[in-house]
Amino acid sequence: MPTNAKHGLAPSSSSTLARAGRCTLVGAGPGDPELLTLKALKAIQAATLLLVDDLVSDAIVALAAPGARVVHVGKRGGCQSTPQAFIEKLTVMAVQEGETVVRLKGGDPFVFGRGGEETEHLRAAGIQVEVVNGITAGLAAVTSLGVPLTHRDHAHGVVFITGHAKPGDSGTDWRALAATAHSARLTLVIYMGISGARHIQDELLCGLPAHTPVAVIQNASLPQQRQAVCTLGELQPTLEREHLSSPSVIVVGDVLQGLLALQQPLSQQALRA
């Protein structure tokens, strides 16, 4: 098992590391270790230091080399978070000290993972960065339900979007997005949308029919995964009734029509027939 640390670096086993350090941003996927890419696994096993995001599962961290040091640098909305500036400083310092650093991120580093910000910071410090993609939670969540994100009859495209705007940002124009999704037949995959679900629902209803199918998937790909399927008009009551919370993905679109039909009582299906 790798050595664990909270914040900070333990002294290296040798006073000076002669080799040059390097950094790889690795996508850990949605949580199931079997969904890691081979390239991600090799990077994790080669790391001397892993800087691990909060949503990375323990089973994936356990794949690190026995002597690797693990520093948890969690960032989750509504919870105590490690400052981004601290993470970036720690990464640069470790690489400069000769460490083989893996910045381990849930999902994909470049899909709502601040991978772009960290890559820019490292390159500005003269550090070359490799990025290893991971399966993003939105894809894994929908696939776990046996549903595609696109379909020739139901969805001509897909939009991945965050439901959480940074301070000072007005955020997404959900009404405009709803109108576009309706006219262009798009599937919406909303990350970090639980806390603002009521507002998102109200705004989407200005451009999408209330009977539009919706799925909410919590802890996608993990043994504790839970999900609910409903209509857009019933989104908030469903969240409250099923006690669904973060981390969850909200999927909106007609690709879920068949799944929604299976949830409806047979009497309702008979009436529509």
Torsion of CA 150, 134, 109, 175, to 10 degrees: 20
Distance between CA atoms of residues 53 and 199, nearest Å? 28
Return the biggest CA–CA distance within the chain. 76
* 89 part of the active site: no
| Catalytically annotated residue among 53, 105, 108, 254 | 53
Q: And the tokens for 99? A: 């460490």
**Catalytic one of 105, 108, 192, 254:** 192
Name the phi and psi angles at 52, rounded to 5: -110, 130
Q: Contact at 8 Å (CB) between 101 and 49?
A: yes
Catalytic residue among 32, 75, 105, 108: 75
192 is a catalytic site residue:
yes
Active site residue 53: yes
Question: According to the 3-state scheme, what is the secondary structure of the chain?
Answer: CCEEECCCCCCCCCCCCCCCCEEEEEECECCCHHHCCHHHHHHHHHCCEEEECCCCCHHHHCCCCCCCEEEECCCCCCCCCCCHHHHHHHHHHHHHCCCEEEEEECECCCCCCCHHHHHHHHHHCCCCEEEECCCCHHHHHHHHCCCCCCECCCECEEEEEECCCCCCCCCCCHHHHHHHHHHHCEEEEEECCCCCHHHHHHHHCCCCCCCCEEEEEECCCCCCCEEEEEEHHHHHHHHHHHCCCCCEEEEECHHHHHHHHHHCCHHHHHHHC
Instruction: Report, as residue numbers or ranges, the catalytic residues.
Output: 53, 75, 192
